[in-house]
Amino acid sequence: MPTFTNGDTTINYLERGSGFPLLLIAPGGVRSSIEYWDNAPWNPIDHLGEHYRVIAMDQRNAGASTGPVTADSGWSTYTSDQLALLDHLGVDRFLVEGMCIGGSYIMALIQAAPERVVAAVLKQPIGIDDNRDAFDEMFGTWADEQRDAHPEAGPTDWAAFHEAMFGGDFVFSVTPEFVSSCTTPMLVLMGNDRYHPEIVSRRVADLAPKATLIENWKDPADQPAARLAIEEFLAAHPPPGAA
């Protein structure tokens, strides 16, 4: 797969198909990388690659992507990586689909560049519901794996990074007030476990003015209808005349 180098950061990515650009942000928490799509109920690279210019990526320090860790690292760091990759590929406006932590990355993207995100699919977004210890453990295990590769980062850098990522509430990356003001069309596929609480999906769908909630989508019997709903949602939103 090709890579994009931006300063000290290298992003591994994959492109498939042609048409209107669709950015995919994989599940896996801070390990979010292309390979994690293979663990999803279905792989959107295969599902949508015939109809869109699909762009999938490993987030920094996940999969084959790398980047420095500093006390200033946080959601905006990842947003900058995502937008820099799209700029490198000549993409201005785009659709985006993300699963798990992908929901929070998407909300940060919309906050940073609302004019570029045409519409978004959020599959089981992460968020807080008496489960902060799960995110602390997830980040801590990943950080322990990463420390030897990041001599530039000391304990205070890791602590600040951790707090910036998972010290907040709701979906971590943005506030409920922002979601309630967000006019980007969204399709939210409901979560139902510790990392992806049902209440978070419902609240995102309730707050966002142009959001639709799909409750059942993971079971094999529900997947065909859910896939069709995603296809119809995405097809309805590229701007007129988009190639």
Alpha-carbon distance of 153 to 203, in angstroms, equals 36
C-alpha distances (whole Å) from 91 to each of 117, 125, 205 are 11, 25, 28
Q: Residue 104 pLDDT > 90, yes or no?
A: yes
Q: Which tokens hold the place of 145?
A: 């794996």
Q: What is the pTM of this model?
A: 0.96
Identify the CA nearest to 111 among candidates 88, 82, 139. 82
pLDDT digits (tens, 9 = 90+) for 162-189: 999 999 999 999 999 999 999 999 999 9
Domains assigned to the chain: 3-235 (3.40.50.1820)
CA triple 105-219-18, angle to 5 deg: 50
pLDDT digits (tens, 9 = 90+) for 67-95: 999 999 999 999 999 999 999 999 999 99
pLDDT digits (tens, 9 = 90+) for 183-210: 999 999 999 999 999 999 999 999 999 9
At 183, give phi and psi (nearest 5°). -100, 10
